[in-house]
């Protein structure tokens, strides 16, 4: 549990601040990302020296790799990519992949529950079939509607916190 406490507190503060901004303003501000990225680098350096600093940079690059394709396909926004880059600097390269996976699972469960409550699950399957057969305009419109309702940072942040706490506290 080397430096776990010193990483957990700023990580949780960053996720809370970014989620608040994403929910309230529909954006994660660059200033917030830069400040917490510098904090992540500093915390990693002070808890692990040069190895910690290299872990932070590798985590940032891994976060970039995780979301570059969804960003290029316009499934995620630039703020979400910068959010994952900063979270990757906090948790490192191996944990950012699983953190994002946890976040996607939470997003999927939440979306299914939402659609079941709204009784739109049939429309989801219909749009998936339409998308499979090549009508991308309909799918892009539906993706835009869902993206306006669901801030991804909330799900990625929950996934990162759950996986971080699981690996840092339970497995240690």
Write the pLDDT tens digit of every residue in 149-161: 678 899 999 999 9
Provide the token pair at 130.
Answer: 């339409």
Nearest 10 degrees: Cα torsion 72, 145, 154, 99: -40
**pLDDT for 25 beyond 50:** yes
Residue 5: pLDDT band by 50, 70, 90 thresholds? confident
pLDDT at 129: 41
The string of pLDDT tens digits covering residues 8-19 is: 899 999 999 999
What string of H, E and C letters represents the secondary structure of 122-167?
HHHHHHHHHHHCCCHHHHHHHHHHHHHHCCHHHHHHHHHHHHHHHH
pLDDT at 83: 95
Tell me the domain boundaries of the chain: 4-102+152-170
The string of pLDDT tens digits covering residues 45-85 is: 999 899 999 999 999 999 999 999 988 988 888 889 999 99
Q: What is the pTM of this model?
A: 0.79
Q: What is the sign of the dihedral through the CA atoms of 10, 11, 17 and 18?
A: positive
Q: Quickly list H helices, the chain.
A: 4-25, 30-72, 78-91, 93-118, 121-132, 136-149, 152-165
Residue located via tokens 């339409």: 130
Provide the token pair at 132.
Answer: 């499979």
Instruction: Give the Cα separation of 170 and 165 in Å (integer).
Output: 7
């Amino acid at each position: 549990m080397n430096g776990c406490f010193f990483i957990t507190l700023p990580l949780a503060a960053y996720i809370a601040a970014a989620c608040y901004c994403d929910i309230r303003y529909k954006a994660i501000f660059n200033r917030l990302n830069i400040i917490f990225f510098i904090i992540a680098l500093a915390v990693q350096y002070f808890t692990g020296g040069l190895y910690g600093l290299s872990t932070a940079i590798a985590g940032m690059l891994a976060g970039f790799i995780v979301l570059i394709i969804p960003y290029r396909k316009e499934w995620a926004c630039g703020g979400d990519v910068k959010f994952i880059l900063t979270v990757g600097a906090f948790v490192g390269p191996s944990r950012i992949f699983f953190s994002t996976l946890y976040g996607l699972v939470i997003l999927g469960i939440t979306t299914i529950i939402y659609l079941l409550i709204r009784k739109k699950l049939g429309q989801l399957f219909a749009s998936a079939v339409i998308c499979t057969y090549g009508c991308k305009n309909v799918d892009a419109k539906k993706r835009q509607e869902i993206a306006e309702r669901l801030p991804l940072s909330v799900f990625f942040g929950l996934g990162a916190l759950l996986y971080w706490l699981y690996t840092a506290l339970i497995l240690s």
